[in-house]
Each structure stands twice: as C-alpha cells, then as structure tokens.
Structure 1
Amino acid sequence: MIQVEKNNEQLIKLANKYGTPLYIYDTCKIKKQYQKMLYAFKNIKKNFLINYACKANTNLNILKFLQKLGSGLDTVSIQEIEIGLKAGFLQNKIIYTPNCVSINEIKKAVELGVKINLDNISILEQFGEYFPNYSIGIRINPHIMAGSNPKISVGHIDSKFGISYYQIPHIKKIIRNTRINIDGLHMHTGSDILDIKSFLDGAKILFQIALDFPDINYIDLGSGFKVPYTKGDRKTDLSCLSKIIIQEFNNFCKNYNKNKKDKDITLIFEPGKFLVSESGYFLVSVNVIKHTMSTVFAGVDSGFNHFIRPMFYDAYHNIENISNPSGCFRYYTVVGYICESDTFGFNRKIAEIHEGDVLCIKNAGAYCFSMSSNYNSRYRPSEVMIINGKDFLIRKRETMKDLLQNIVEIPI
C-alpha cells in the first residue's frame, strides 16, 4: 500500500508520468479492507457475503479486482449491472436495488437475470403481475436516523428509500394477491455511521420482520461504516459490531428454523466507501497562490467537477503538499478553478505551498470520480491503479473529442 508520508516521490513520479489532476487507487488497501471484513464475520454459522456497492467507484478494473477477491455486487442502475456483468460477476452474485425507477428498467433487470430488491409498493404490485414466479427481495425503511450528515441518512421516516416497516401488512396483501415469492429482506440507513446501536436497531427490526416471511434466503443489512479521514479520526468499530450482529443473526436463524428444517440463510453487507475510500489519492497541481486581505488561497487545476464531496457534503479530506512535505507549515484555503465557490479545504495547515507544487487529497477512492462531471466544459481526469507496486492506467484523460462526441450539430 502507498503510504503518502513515506512515498511522496512515487506519487510525484506518477503525477509527472500521467499529469494532473489524477486519481490513484492502491489495490493493496482494497484487499486489506475486504479481508478485514471477512475476518470480522468469520464466526457466522451460516453463509456470509460481501457485496461491493459499486456506486462508490464504478471503474471496470475496480470491479474486476473485487470480483477476483470473491465479492458480490450491489448495483442501483441497469448500467451498473451491465458493467458488473462485463467485469465477470455472475448474475446470482449481483443484487439490483433501485430507487424511483420505472417498471421498464426493472423489466430489463429481469431480462439480465440478476437478483432484485424493490422499495416501492406501486412497483411491487406491478412486478407481481408481470413476474409472479421471479423471486425478489424487499427493501425496508426501518425509520432510523443514522449517518454523519442528513444528506447521507436514508433510513429515516421521511426518506425516499425503502418501504416503511409499518406497511408490512400491505406487502403481505400483495404477496397473497400476486403469489410473488419474497427471497430476502434489505435495509440501508446511511453512511459514515459510528453508532453501533444504529446498526443493531435496524438489524433487530429486519430480523423480526423476517420471521413473517417463511421462504427468505438472505438478510441484507446494507452498510454505512465510517472510515477515518484524519489521523486519529474515529471509525466504526467493526470488531465490536460483528460480535453483536453475529450473535443476533445466529439467534434469528435459530428462531426462524424452529418449525422447519435448518434453512441456510445468507447474511449480506454491501460496503462501498469502506472498501475503496482509503485506497484513493487525488493529485492536483497548484496553479496560483493568491493573497487577499485575510486569506491565502492555493488555487489548483481541479474543482468540484472532479471532486465534489467537500462542497456537496461538507466532507473533510486531508490535503498534503507532497512536493514540499518538510516545509514550514502555513495556513491555506485550497480552492479549484471552477467558476463557482469550489473549496476543497478552508484554512488548512499545510507545508508551505508554491505555484507548481503537487497536492495530495486523501480518501479519494469513493464517491469522487464516480460523481465527477464536465462542468465548465472541463475534461475529467485520468485514473491509475497500483497492483503489486506497478502502476496501470485504467482510464484515459478526456479530450475535446469526448466532450463533443454526442453533440448533434444542426444548421443554424
């Protein structure tokens, strides 16, 4: 794994080789996170499955790497399903959990043969009429407020995600009317969750509901594990969480199987950020140092068109000057080149920055490139993957041809 503090020269070489702005992903860290989760849940008596939430980073090569590790795939769009199939995931290892999509898109998912979780009463009724023999899962809204930011809390009572657990009688009525088969239950309450109680409360609700569905094969508890963004930052205590969840899950399986043969139920988690966030580094070059009456700005060759999390979620990402790591520390506000207020970090203590220096923004593996755009008609950056210490270009930098390829010129 690249350690920025010890390998600034390697990162500078990559910046020189591929140019900036540049995303870099270290597969050693991804593998370490995947194995850490497997180890935490090794004592589950039944099956355990990790489904990578690929909306965090959909680069085909990231998906191929996780598929080789044994991961399944959590998808939210037809396009993600198709990328997953191209990456080598089997149909039965892909779960599609869309939100507010039409029945036509869900029909396409049926044609592709993947597992499906539905989170809407209307769509559930329509699906039951079209595909009464196709086993599906139900996404439940447990009415739990969790996560570090209201924008990433998705399990509360006013959320657009999931079917309220108060609507279970309605779900049962649809099952009776359509004879649809419920294969599993799913929930996801948010992101950056520190409070283990939030996971436990949601799991208990899902386990209790599952007792009323006699033919389920999986329980999907989503994810939302917090990762550290600064030195000494807190993170989800995976060891403590796993012990509690394993105990609750084993108790559930025991109760579920009281009146039937031992049923092999799979427990699923769908981490995205946990697996890939810390693997990522975003390198930018400093265009200009600008002094005002009260602030020193370091303006870089990127903006929220490439890296929107600090502006969209008020997310904190550590920023280091890898060109001058031993320089005197001064305070800078690091901003982008977009014609908007695109600030990566306010009043940050960073080793002295000069024009031309390369800065490294950390925790750039999740929800960074995948949320990028061409705003201001800027090109999206290159992506590089590190495998066993070797660097590989996994996405080329865009050009004007990419910006114009779908434009249809008309005579004016």
Structure 2
Amino acid sequence: MTTQNLPGQPHLAYRGNELFTENICLSELAKEHGTPLFVYSKGAMLAALAAYQRGFAGRNVQICYAMKANPALGVIQVFAEAGCGFDIVSGGDMDRVLAAGGRAENIIFSGVGKTRAEMRRALQAGIGCFNVESEAELEVLSDVALSMDLRAPVSIRVNPNVDPKTHPYISTGLKGSKFGVAHERVLQTYQRAATLAGIRVVGIDCHIGSQITQEAPYLDAVDRMLDLVEAIEAAGIPVDHIDFGGGLGINYNGDTPPSADRLWENMLAKLDARGFGQRQLMIEPGRSLVGNAGVCLTEVLYLKPGEQKNFCIIDAAMNDLPRPAMYQAFHQIVPLNPRPEAPDTYDVVGPICESGDWIGHDRTLTVQQGDLLAVLSAGAYCMSMASNYNSRGRAPEILVDGEQAHVIRQRETMADQMRQERLVGATPTT
C-alpha cells in the first residue's frame, strides 16, 4: 500500500485510497459518528508544542496555551498534561482550564472587558497574573482585590503600534486597536499601578495579532518592549517577567511562517544582546499549536451546476467553520477517497440560508453526491466560534492518539439547544 503525506500536514496521509490522521481512517470515523465532524491529532499538537520547547531549551519560559483558539476540554487536557499554562479571556475559560486539570497559578487572564465578578473568581482561584488592558481596569482590579484583602498580580498589556501584516480583524497591536495601553502611556500606567494598594506588578505583556507569517513584526515588538522595561525599571518598578504573547501563523494556503524554534532563536538573540536573556519569559501561542492538528469532515449533499458557478453543497456550514465567512479565510479541501475522473471547479458552500455561507471558492475537485471531504487546518477558531445558527447543532469532536479515537464532545441535539428555553407561561422544570 502506498503512503502519500499531505504537504504541510505531517499527521495526514493517504494510505492507498483512504485518508488517515495518525493511524485512524477518517472515513471510518465519519461513518461511525456522522458529519460534520471535527477530528484532532494529539501527535500534531505535541509536535507543534515541541518546536517551542526546542526554541526555549535552557531558558526560563512558561508556555501558556491561548485557549480561545480551541477550548475543548480534551484539547486543554493535552496541554495541561504537557506542563503548559493557559491564557484565558473569560471566567468561563478559567472554569474549563480547572476542569481539565490545569493549575490556577499557571493561568494568565487577558481581555479588555473583565467584570468584577470574573476578577473575584480569578483572585479566589489564585491565578498567576492578570494582563491589564486599560487604566480604568487597573483601578477596578485594585478595588476588587482590596475588598478581598488581597493584592492582584498584574502585567500591563502594551499596545506597541506594531503592524503584524495580517488581517485587520486579528491585528491587535496598532494604535486603532481596542487592546492594551498605548505605548506612550505605559510608563505612567506602571507608576500609577505601583501606588495602588491592591496591585502587585509582576510583568509586562504585548500581543500584536494573529496568523503572523513574518519575523519582522515580532523583532520590532521586542525592541519596543525592552525599551519600556528599561524605562519602567529605571523608575524603580521591577518587572519580573516579559510576556511576548502569541500569534504565530500556520500554513493554510502556501503560507510560510517561521518555525517556532527558529523565530525564538532570533528573538532570544536580540534579548541576549540587550542583557535580558535570563529574564523570565512567557508566551501565549494558540493557533500555531492546534490549527493544523484539526480537520472537519463533511459529506457532499448535492452538486448543483450553474451558468456562472458550479456549487458543491456540503453538510458543514458557516456555523461550523466561520473563518471563511468572517475573515475571507482559506482552508484546503481534499477528498477522503480520491476519484480518478477529471475534476471540475466548484464553489464549496454550506446549507445555511446566507450567501456568505461558503467554505471555499473556485476549488478543483473530483466529487460525487455522497462523497466525504476534509476541510483542513480546522483546529483553531472553528469549533471555538461555532454557533447554532439555523438551529443547527454543533458538531462532535474526536481526539486521535495513535490508534485510539476518543470522543471529547458529543453531537449537540435539539434537546441540548432548547434546554434553557421556556414557552411563555410554561412551568419551569427542576
């Protein structure tokens, strides 16, 4: 039997006429669990993590998985067992980390809109650090901590005004972004933090965006961050750790981001040159750990020829795979069982009642009704952003580990969707 690996997808390979992830046949999973279906490779996640670990060998670094990329409990468990910390953006995220075996002291709480209730819960749990994103948040956090007779550990998230050269919706370090404290006000904000009785300054943070495929924005951010650390410490405020965020891109369509180990080799060289090489570092990768580990399996419902377009209508939709509709994002689409016939060109679309419900434009495919397809690089920002639009249940999720396939989320039923709803005048059940 011949084996053919998919370019840029080392965990995916055709064995004969069947597509496998690790040692599991994907068409068999689709037949057993139905479609749409998300399948993740544990081996691919750990391989992506290993690239960061190689880059940080001998350094004092905490890798915190940015769980907004994929918050499935089974995925969080993989990284918790691998010794990772976690970057969260809500109280619900914290609950998921703790439920999956993560340690509170290894949690970083980011996000521009933390509520007082979330702050209290995080302080009670004993999280490691709040990434504070505004001066107003700093004041509120101090008040909440004082009301609990505590001091909140904080780093200030810097908006360094660095262009990450990515989609505007996922560029977070420019002046027009809602994220972080403006570079020009950072020193003043740290000086205010040092006077607040409920605040304990422990670090500094920045995160310039997502799906970044060039080194230059990171290296630019390093220089700006280190300039700030020098100014802050010259003002008498120690900075224990430096958090450079995440955002490293993956290969969706011939993208060529630097490998994590090479990127950090170059960034650490810059830190060493400026005397910060032994400082405690933190990073918050998300997409680069899980994006290429996942596929979405889907069935071809109908082929619909047209005068201007041929449509391949599948049972996965924008509620399952929101990235194309939201970001005009590209995902490779491949057959689970390739056919020898000549291909046609199709727009691959879902069944939702929206013209924006498309998964891929102008794709060359050889398909028939009933065939199974795999939408690649679907491990990040797909299920985490999935919805029940058109009353569609969210898809199940499978974690593959070698020859084992573990169901980590069951398919959502209509009863699941309607459980919290009530008809007017209905008697609530207990």
**TM-score class normalised by the smaller sequence:** over 0.9
Contact 2:214 2:257 in 1 (8 A): no
CA distance in 1, matches of 2:279, 2:77: 26
Give, as a single letter, the amino acid of the residue that structure 2 aligns with 1:247. A
The equivalent of 1:233 in structure 2 is 255
Q: Is the CA contact 2:116–2:144 (under 8 Å) kept in the aligned structure 1? A: no
Aligned-pair identity in percent equals: 29
Matches within 5 A, 1:97-116: 97-114=110-127, 115-116=129-130
Match of 1:55 in 2: 68
CA distance in 1, matches of 2:341, 2:280: 52
Is the Cα contact below 8 Å between 2:339 and 2:367 reproduced in 1? no
Give the drift of 1:325.
4.4
SS of residue matched to 1:14: helix
Change (3 A) 1:325 1:53: farther
Please tell me the residue identity of whatever aligns with 1:331: T
Name the counterpart of 1:200: 219
Cα distance in 2 for partners of 1:366, 1:169 equals: 35
| Residues in 2 aligned to 1:284 and 1:96: alpha-carbon distance in whole angstroms | 35
Show the counterpart of 2:159.
Answer: 141
Instruction: Indicate the SS of the match to 1:109.
Output: helix
Q: Which runs of 5+ in 1 are unaligned?
A: 256-263
Task: Give the counterpart of 1:74 among 87, 91, 114.
Answer: 87
Deviations 1:211-230 (CA, angstroms, capped at 9, x unpaired): 21443221110111111113
SS at match of 1:346: strand
Q: Which amino acid is the alignment partner of residue 28 of structure 1?
A: G
Q: Secondary structure at the match of 2:364?
A: strand
CA distance in structure 2 between the aligned counterparts of 1:173 and 1:215, rounded to whole angstroms: 11
The residue aligned with 1:307 is: 321
User: What SS does the corresponding residue of 2:96 show, helix, strand or coil?
Assistant: helix
AA of the residue aligned to 2:362: N
Counterparts of 1:327 and 1:106, CA distance in 2? 59
* Alignment-derived partner of residue 421 in structure 2: 407
**What is the CA distance between 1:242 and its match in structure 2?**
1.6
Once the two structures are superposed, residues 222-245 of structure 1 have per-residue CA deviations (whole angstroms, 9 ceiling, x without a partner) of 111111113x43122434422221
Task: State the Cα distance separating 1:280 from its structure 2 match.
Answer: 0.2
Which stretches in structure 2 are left out of the alignment for 5+ residues?
A: 1-9
Cα RMSD after superposing both structures: 1.8
Shift in CA distance, 176/394, structure 1 to aligned 2, threshold 3 Å: closer
What residue number does 1:22 align with?
A: 37
Aligned residue for 1:92?
Answer: 105
Give 1:254 deviation, angstroms: 5.0
Q: What is the CA-CA distance between 1:40 and the residue it aligns to?
A: 1.9
Structure 2: how far apart are the matches of 1:254 and 1:58? Answer: 33
Question: Residue 159 of structure 1 is aligned with which of 177, 189, 205?
Answer: 177
Cα distance, 1:207 vs structure 2: 1.6
Instruction: Show the counterpart of 2:27.
Output: 12
SS of 1:16's partner is helix
Residue 337 of structure 2 is aligned to residue 323 of structure 1: yes
**In the alignment, structure 1 residue 3 sits paired with structure 2 residue 12:** yes
1:64 aligns with 2:77: yes
Opposite residue 290 of structure 2, the aligned amino acid is V
Q: What TM-score, normalized by structure 1, do the two folds share? A: 0.92
Deviation at 1:38?
0.7
TM-score, normalised relative to structure 2: 0.89
Distance 1:21 1:254, change over 3 A: closer
Q: Distance in 2 between matches of 1:381 and 1:237?
A: 31
Contact 1:147–1:224 (8 Å) recurs in 2? no
Displacement of 1:108: 2.2
Question: Please, which moves more after superposition, 106-115 or 30-39?
Answer: 106-115
Work out the CA distance in 1 between the residues paired with 2:195 and 2:63: 33
What's 1:244 paired with?
266
Partner Cα distance (2:346, 2:261) in 1? 38
Judged with a 3 Å threshold, the aligned counterparts in structure 2 of structure 1 residues 69 and 176 are, in CA distance, closer, same or farther, namely: closer
Alpha-carbon distance in 2 for matches of 1:78, 1:318: 34
